[in-house]
Amino acid sequence: MTNTLYDALLLPHQGREKTFLTLKDGRTITYDAFLRIAARFANAMTKLGIGSGDRVAVQVKKSPEALAVYAACLGSGAIFLPLNTAYTPAEVEYFVTDAEAKLLICDGSSAEALKPVANKAGALLLTLNADGSGSFAELAEGMPQILSPAPRGPHDLAAFLYTSGTTGRSKGAMLTHDNLLSNAEALAKAWRFTSSDVLLHALPIFHTHGLFVATNTILLAGASMVFLPGLDLDDLVAWMPQATTMMGVPTFYTRLLSDARLDRDLTRHMRLFISGSAPLLAETHRDFEARTGHRILERYGMTETNMNISNPYEGERRAGTVGLPLPGISVRICDPESGAEVPAGEIGVIEIKGRNVFKGYWRMPEKTAQEFRPDGYFISGDLATKDADGYVTIVGRAKDLIISGGYNIYPKEIELLLDEQPGVLESAIIGVDHPDLGEGVVGVVVAKAGVRLEETILLAGIAGSLARFKQPRRIFIADELPRNTMGKVQKAMLRERYATTFMSS
């Protein structure tokens, strides 16, 4: 019996005494120890009656045990559903209910707030804390440390990752074992990962970047990670001399550049810096090279597809571009309306086909169909050009999306909440330049006749329903929203009007 991902990523490491994770405090966890935790967790899930295809929703702080829950889901055949730790109980309720999760694992500190959510959704609620304790860990305590992985084939589902939509309703992207394995294989090869690598890992593990791009690639290569709780410059500086590679969103690089300790000496041991999830300014690319001698390798991906396009490891890493299609992945730039490929140099929407492309949105066959061309290409919604050498440059988005510090924020979700606030006639959410986060969220609100709105009251009104990172950092009250002749709000005009909002922050 085979289990595509478990067999490729985990089983080869059974009994291996090599360090898999080094923690902030210097503690290390070997591959063998990690697999034993994962086996206990998987056996605990099986005991709870969780089997192949059941969804396990997880909102826990980053820790080796949190990562072992992912490995345990692969081994037990369950579908892993990671959730941003910033999500409010109201947001979690949507995901757990929509996915019909059988089990919700959360941090002990949020158990009280999530109890009604789990009850309503019919999910069992257990806890796992950052120090590895909690009711789930207790349940797994005496379980066998060896696992017979549940049979899972390449086209079986491994994970659901929710991504919001322009309608404001989140969609569960269904990722198969083959989607994830094929991408890990492509990345390990393209970026030359070997068992000698040590990845500086300071990303969250509830999104594609920190989870699949980083972790699956490392597992496949049999390499190690310095596994840090988050982005803290002192930690990065302290651990960089032990590492060979780092993956980060552009904010990682702008923050490092703001630190005088970043220089050639600090990065001497590194062989590769990778950036993605949001646009890396060409200026950041150049400044980083000037300070360290390293040319950042920028790549492009999506939750639905994992990674698609990457600058080359050898060959020219062109600042401001995301590079060339990864081997085995077909990429074309097309007219958004007709779907016809546009000539080199012209702007079109990026379309992708390959083993990496997801199976569809959970229980949304119509939405899924809308986002694929009849010949199987997935329509990304990102606008780009391709030059004569095949390098792709992302120039904008056909979708109304803000990316702040690498997190995606869908304006519609916030507009719907603002529109419900007392006295609000209508609202628009835009992203404008932010020196640290790339884009910062701004709200523009129009009051109903005779009402005087206040920014602080509006912010307080939506705070309970929205993760903090989605909440506008400023809300402006306007007399009206600019509209075109079709009545559509002209967000480009608003972005221009409020362009300098964060310039001094």
Residues binding ligand MCA: number (CB under 6 A): 22
Of residues 440 through 479, those in contact with ligand MCA by CB under 6 A are 468-469
Of residues 197 through 226, those in contact with ligand MCA by CB under 6 A are 203-204, 207-210
Shortest distance, position 458 Cβ to ligand MCA, whole Å: 16
Residue 77 interaction partner, one of ligand AMP, ligand MCA, none, beta carbon < 5-8 Å per kind: none
**Spatial distance between the Cα atoms of 445 and 393, rounded to a whole number of angstroms:** 34
Name beta bridge partners: 157: 176
Give the binding site for ligand AMP (CB under 6 A). 163, 208, 276-279, 298, 300-303, 322, 380, 382, 394, 397, 403, 408
Of residues 405 through 424, those in contact with ligand MCA by CB under 6 A are 405-407
Rg (CA), the chain: 23
> Does 437 sit near ligand MCA (CB under 6 A)?
yes
Stretch that binds ligand MCA, among 28-36, 354-362, 403-411, 486-494 (CB under 6 A): 403-411
Compute the 3-state secondary structure of the chain and give helix, strand, coil in percent, each to the nearest 5.
Answer: 30, 25, 40
* Burial of 214 from C-beta contacts in 10 A (0-12 / 13-18 / 19+): buried
Task: Judge whether 22 and 68 are in contact, CB under 8 Å.
Answer: no
- Select the residue interacting with ligand MCA from 303, 356, 393, 501 (CB under 6 A): 303
Shortest distance, position 285 Cβ to ligand AMP, whole Å: 11
The residue nearest ligand MCA at its CB is: 405
Residue 382 interaction partner, one of ligand MCA, ligand AMP, none, beta carbon < 5-8 Å per kind: ligand AMP
Secondary structure E strands in 83-202: 103-106, 124-127, 157-163, 171-176, 198-201
Shortest distance, position 112 Cβ to ligand AMP, whole Å: 30
Stretch that binds ligand MCA, among 236-244, 299-307, 347-355, 377-385 (CB under 6 A): 299-307
**What is the helix (H) or strand (E) element at residue 385, kind and residue range?**
strand 378-386
Name beta bridge partners: 324: 310
Of residues 357 through 386, those in contact with ligand MCA by CB under 6 A are none
Name beta bridge partners: 431: 441
Shortest distance, position 244 Cβ to ligand AMP, whole Å: 22
Task: Judge whether 86 and 468 are in contact, CB under 8 Å.
Answer: yes
**Spatial distance between the Cα atoms of 232 and 347, rounded to a whole number of angstroms:** 38
Q: Is 162 helix (H, G, I), strand (E, B) or coil?
A: strand
**Spatial distance between the Cα atoms of 207 and 407, rounded to a whole number of angstroms:** 9
Residue 282 interaction partner, one of ligand MCA, ligand AMP, none, beta carbon < 5-8 Å per kind: none
Shortest distance, position 326 Cβ to ligand MCA, whole Å: 13
Secondary structure E strands in 74-178: 79-82, 103-106, 124-127, 157-163, 171-176
Task: List CB contacts of 459: < 8 A, sequence separation 6 or more.
Answer: 471, 472, 475
- Select the residue interacting with ligand MCA from 60, 187, 219, 249 (CB under 6 A): 249
Task: Judge whether 194 and 164 are in contact, CB under 8 Å.
Answer: no
Residue 429 interaction partner, one of ligand MCA, ligand AMP, none, beta carbon < 5-8 Å per kind: none
The residue nearest ligand AMP at its CB is: 303
Which residue's CB is nearer to ligand AMP, number 222 or number 360?
Answer: 360
CA nearest neighbour of 304 among 471, 162, 473: 162
CA nearest neighbour of 140 among 157, 151, 125, 126: 126
Name beta bridge partners: 442: 430, 474
Of residues 163 through 202, those in contact with ligand MCA by CB under 6 A are none
Residue 210 interaction partner, one of ligand MCA, ligand AMP, none, beta carbon < 5-8 Å per kind: ligand MCA
Residue 204 interaction partner, one of ligand AMP, ligand MCA, none, beta carbon < 5-8 Å per kind: ligand MCA
Structure tokens, 21: 């994770």
Stretch that binds ligand MCA, among 66-74, 98-106, 387-395, 404-412 (CB under 6 A): 404-412
CA nearest neighbour of 341 among 308, 375, 293: 375
Residue 298 interaction partner, one of ligand AMP, ligand MCA, none, beta carbon < 5-8 Å per kind: ligand AMP
> Does 140 sit near ligand MCA (CB under 6 A)?
no
**Spatial distance between the Cα atoms of 249 and 281, rounded to a whole number of angstroms:** 11
> Does 46 sit near ligand MCA (CB under 6 A)?
no
Residue 230 interaction partner, one of ligand MCA, ligand AMP, none, beta carbon < 5-8 Å per kind: ligand MCA
Residue 163 interaction partner, one of ligand AMP, ligand MCA, none, beta carbon < 5-8 Å per kind: ligand AMP
Residue 394 interaction partner, one of ligand MCA, ligand AMP, none, beta carbon < 5-8 Å per kind: ligand AMP
Residue 43 interaction partner, one of ligand MCA, ligand AMP, none, beta carbon < 5-8 Å per kind: none
Of residues 266 through 285, those in contact with ligand MCA by CB under 6 A are 276-277
**Spatial distance between the Cα atoms of 64 and 199, rounded to a whole number of angstroms:** 15
Task: List CB contacts of 39: < 8 A, sequence separation 6 or more.
Answer: 72, 75, 143, 144, 145, 146, 147
Secondary structure E strands in 107-152: 124-127
Task: Report the interface residues with ligand MCA, using CB under 6 A.
Answer: 203-204, 207-210, 230-231, 249, 251, 276-277, 301-303, 404-407, 437, 468-469
